[in-house]
Amino acid sequence: MKTAQQKISLLLIITLLGLFPVFPSAKVGVGDAVAEPALQTQTAQGADMPGDAVIADSHLAVSYLTLAPGSNEQRLNFSWHTKAKAEERKPLVRIWKQGGEAMEFAGESSENPLRISGMYYHRVTVTGLEADTSYAYQLGNGNGEWSLVYTTKTGNPSSFSFLVCGDPQVIDSVSGAAWAATVTAALARFPDVSFMMGTGDQVENPEKKCFDAFFMPEELSALPFATCVGNHEYAPGSYHAAHYMFNPPNWQTKPAADYWYRYGDALFMVTNCSTGMNTRAVRAHGAFIEQAIAQNPDAKWRILTFHYDVYGQGQSHSRRSGKDYRNLYVPIIDQYGIDAVFNGHDHSYSRSKQMMFSGNPNNSGSVGMQETVFDADGMALNPTGTVYFTLNSASGRKPYGLAPLKEYTAFMNQNRQKNITVVHMTADTFRCVTYEVSVDGELTEIDSYGIRKTR
């Protein structure tokens, strides 16, 4: 008897055979000639969870397959794991659009420092992708074996949407299924999102059973995911180890696994604050931000993600770690003109007023809050300062209590439900809407906030 995943895999193969050529003509971008895909009559034999090997006769078995945004919208970063022998550590991605020629790209392999089942971590960057285009792809091991065919679709950089998830923090198949249900419900409502950002704490612990649960959403083979290191995936002695489950672009080894990517008119920056918030760390993150902006001087929007909430409403975090961030990191965020910050950690939702450094980490005065003018559509018009979003958990795990409403808070919510955020951006507008996800997959709006820039 086939499991649900086996049935889905078979259905996917049948669908893909109709949509894409089984034997795409090969145009070799990197390396040797492309081998012919072997896709005729195999039976997929899925495992209980996607974190385990998904095996198909005659196919390369891959685990933890995920995409990440590339450094710009013409690129995608792929990563996956296999139990590879030495001769099977030459990772390849073969990708083609309907009726098009296949392009092939080579990458690198290394041991995963998290030592997940002795697997090897493979990563490949694909370039030259067209906007608004459906692609099919396969993963290769350089030894003649290829994976099943998967699909992905690029977006339109001039008007695009993306999801943002807070703290899935999954630990087992139950929380993994809740997380997967959120992803499925969000994509059913917003099928054209270009990627998804995380605000950290993807897992409860950096270990196999948690990553098995995190990779339960099959959509992660199609939807690029921009990870963020939270305190729960922080592996002592290897501060960036959690990135080895993903493949972020422009990944800096110093400082602390920060990275950036560009999409349309927006520059997205992610900083790993799991190594602590102090003067030295702030200086390093500031240098990274300065460098990312210098490489993207024409980006009209600057979006920053890191795990720890700055202007959160969490009962304990807003009193403790939040103070350090307000005192040390906000002046840097002001200096570099960040439009919006996405944080997690609190497992509750809040949105700040437009903020700048007040000189007082408690924000007991009014200096930090900026006067904001709203246009006829309710959009903040050319606001000064930065809006800070603290996101609730996408799996609904660990809903912490709220502190009494802070002076810096514009809106807060603790619904003890699964939450997901969608952002729509054009050259002039930013609209961020947060939803709660019901058990039957309905999305109900919690909060909405927009910014319009006319200059």
Piece in contact with Fe ion (CB under 5 A), picked from 84-92, 194-202, 333-341, 439-447: 194-202
Least distance CB 257 / Fe ion (angstroms): 16
Residue 258 binds Fe ion (CB under 5 A): no
- Of 89 and 345, nearer to Fe ion (C-beta) is 345
Residue 309 binds Fe ion (CB under 5 A): no
Piece in contact with Fe ion (CB under 5 A), picked from 29-37, 83-91, 140-148, 226-234: 226-234
- Of 345 and 431, nearer to Fe ion (C-beta) is 345
Piece in contact with Fe ion (CB under 5 A), picked from 133-141, 168-176, 276-284, 316-324: 168-176
Piece in contact with Fe ion (CB under 5 A), picked from 16-24, 73-81, 163-171, 430-438: 163-171
- Of 5 and 414, nearer to Fe ion (C-beta) is 414
Residue 230 binds Fe ion (CB under 5 A): yes
Distance CA 222, CA 135 (A): 10
Residue 205 binds Fe ion (CB under 5 A): no
Residue 212 binds Fe ion (CB under 5 A): no
Distance CA 335, CA 337 (A): 6
The β-bridge partners of 121 are 81, 110
User: Which of 81, 240, 326, 345 contacts Fe ion by CB under 5 A?
Assistant: 345
Distance CA 403, CA 409 (A): 11
Site for Fe ion in 58-117 (CB under 5 A): none
Residue 248 binds Fe ion (CB under 5 A): no
User: Which of 73, 88, 104, 201 contacts Fe ion by CB under 5 A?
Assistant: 201
- Of 231 and 370, nearer to Fe ion (C-beta) is 231
How open is the CA angle 246-131-17, to the nearest 5 degrees?
75
Residue nearest to Fe ion (CB): 201
Residue 339 binds Fe ion (CB under 5 A): no
Least distance CB 167 / Fe ion (angstroms): 4
Query: Binding residues for Fe ion, how many (CB under 5 A)?
Result: 6
Residue 231 binds Fe ion (CB under 5 A): yes
- Of 11 and 174, nearer to Fe ion (C-beta) is 174
Piece in contact with Fe ion (CB under 5 A), picked from 267-275, 335-343, 344-352, 440-448: 344-352
User: Which of 88, 104, 145, 167 contacts Fe ion by CB under 5 A?
Assistant: 167
Residues that bind Fe ion (CB under 5 A): 167, 169, 201, 230-231, 345
